[in-house]
């Protein structure tokens, strides 16, 4: 029985990995914007693989605010919440309150049910750069990167890459630094996020969701960080709408 268990896991996992060595979209970071993008891309029939370094994808949504595991979503994002089947209750001034654990679980469930594949415990350390465009991602085990071990990575080829790494904008920084290129931002580089402003942060998260270099899109806090806008705290409507917009932009580029 022990061998049957191990063999089943190994055979299934490597079949999954091999089938995702070439995808339509590779998503870096499993926060709310990345997971929502994965859901809508998979729903549109795209082959999607999402890579997250944590054991449990979901980004900062799990912890709510200061480990009070409730989050806020505003009216504009509620169609996404309702489509994903998330339970909620009304708050004040057009806001809604949701249990963060329930909500994060629902997002992950719906994205994978729609057909997206999520790889946890992966770090994306670089991109594939072909013909002056981003053409895939370079992946390694997250513990390998954390421990600084000299272990070569593998590559995942993709027609589009979506960065949803959050505040640090890791992929955009790597692309700009290594390839001496100008990004589609006011300065041509990664500007970095500003301090907290809920209303402007929510608004600009969606506005800054875009293709910042051929083949490379940004969503969520990475979108605001790249373009120098505000963080917004434990309100997540902008993140959800950013993920949906990213999926729509990528579908438009790849063709519906």
Q: Give yes or no for a contact between 71 and 103, defined as CB atoms under 8 angstroms apart.
A: yes
To the question of whether residue 60 is assigned a binding role by annotation, the answer is yes
Q: Give yes or no for a contact between 183 and 212, defined as CB atoms under 8 angstroms apart.
A: yes
Q: How far apart are CA 31 and CA 2, in angstroms?
A: 35
Looking at 84-197, list the stretches that DSSP marks H as alpha helix, in order from N- to C-terminal side. Answer: 100-114, 142-147, 170-179
To the question of whether residue 33 is assigned a binding role by annotation, the answer is yes
| Tokens describing residue 30 | 């499993």
To the question of whether residue 124 is assigned a binding role by annotation, the answer is yes
To the question of whether residue 231 is assigned a binding role by annotation, the answer is yes
Q: Exposed, middle or buried by CB within 10 Å (0-12, 13-18, 19+), for 242?
A: buried
Q: How far apart are CA 253 and CA 256, in angstroms?
A: 8
> How many other C-beta atoms are found inside a 10 Å radius of the C-beta of residue 132?
11
Q: Give the residue ranges of the annotated binding site for glycine.
A: 231
Q: Give the residue ranges of the annotated binding site for NAD(+).
A: 33, 60, 124, 150-152, 221
Q: Give the residue ranges of the annotated binding site.
A: 33, 60, 124, 150-152, 167, 221, 231
Q: Give the residue ranges of the annotated binding site for Fe cation.
A: 152, 167
């Amino acid at each position: 029985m022990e061998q049957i268990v191990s063999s089943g896991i190994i055979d299934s996992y490597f079949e999954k990995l091999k089938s995702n060595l070439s995808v339509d979209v590779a998503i870096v970071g499993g926060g709310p914007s990345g997971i929502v993008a994965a859901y809508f891309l998979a729903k549109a029939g795209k082959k999607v693989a999402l890579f997250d370094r944590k054991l449990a994808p979901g980004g900062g949504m799990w912890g709510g605010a200061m480990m009070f595991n409730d989050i806020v979503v505003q009216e504009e994002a509620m169609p996404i919440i309702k489509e994903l089947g998330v339970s909620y209750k009304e708050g004040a001034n057009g806001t809604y309150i949701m249990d963060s654990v329930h909500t994060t679980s629902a997002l992950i469930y719906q994205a994978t049910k729609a057909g997206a594949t999520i790889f946890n415990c992966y770090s994306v350390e670089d991109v594939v750069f072909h013909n002056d465009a981003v053409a895939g991602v370079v992946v390694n085990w997250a513990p390998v990167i954390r421990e600084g071990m000299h272990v070569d990575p593998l590559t995942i080829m993709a027609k589009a890459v979506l960065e949803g790494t959050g505040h640090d904008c890791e992929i955009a920084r790597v692309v700009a630094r290594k390839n001496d290129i100008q990004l589609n931002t006011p300065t041509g580089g990664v500007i970095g996020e500003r301090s907290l402003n809920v209303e402007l942060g929510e608004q600009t998260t969606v506005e800054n969701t875009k293709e910042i270099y051929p083949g490379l899109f940004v969503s969520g806090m990475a979108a605001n960080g790249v373009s120098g806008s505000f963080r917004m705290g434990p309100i997540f409507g902008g993140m959800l709408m950013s993920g949906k917009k990213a999926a729509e932009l990528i579908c438009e580029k790849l063709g519906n």
